[in-house]
Amino acid sequence: MIFLPNWNITKRVMSSYLPFVVLAGLYLYLFISSVTPENAQALANPNLADIARFLADERAAATGWTHFLVLDLFVGRWVYWEGQRTGIWTIHSIALCLFAGPLGLLSHVLTSWLAHTFFTAQTEATSPASEPTSPSEASQT
């Protein structure tokens, strides 16, 4: 997605849900195997201290890490496809998504806003399509 975004293999892999199905299956396995009756009771009405205790267990931490991986990859995939659809530069946002999903999403939202606010208006003002092509169009503007 970062180094070869327009490569056919990249597009084929990104159009598949298979990586998410595999990771979600791993998540389900880890989640089921990490929840004990004590953890389940604590997580039924969680507070931050209970979640911290739960994640202190190695298997629970692997579950949390898989959770973050699935969601960060999913958001990165969405940013990738938005970049392909709109032509907006997304390399920085995808990289952020893979390390810190919410920051990558925020980066893409800001980049999209900047591109539409400053570059779309400039492109429309300088494109030949914005100039009148006939005297009647000129009188309407």
State the pLDDT at residue 43. Answer: 79
What is the rounded radius of gyration, in angstroms, for the C-alpha atoms of the chain? 23
State the pLDDT at residue 62. Answer: 93
Beta strands in the chain (DSSP E): none
Question: Is the pTM value of this prediction over 0.85?
Answer: no
Sequential pLDDT tens for the chain (141 residues): 888 888 999 899 889 999 899 999 999 999 999 888 888 877 788 889 888 888 888 988 999 999 999 999 999 999 999 999 999 999 999 999 999 999 999 999 999 999 999 887 555 555 555 444 444 444 454
State the pLDDT at residue 72. Answer: 94
Token couple for 1: 């997605």
State the pLDDT at residue 53. Answer: 85
Domain ranges of the chain: 8-128
State the pLDDT at residue 126. Answer: 53
State the pLDDT at residue 124. Answer: 54
Does residue 97 contact residue 75 with C-beta atoms inside 8 Å? yes
Does residue 132 contact residue 138 with C-beta atoms inside 8 Å? yes
State the pLDDT at residue 121. Answer: 58
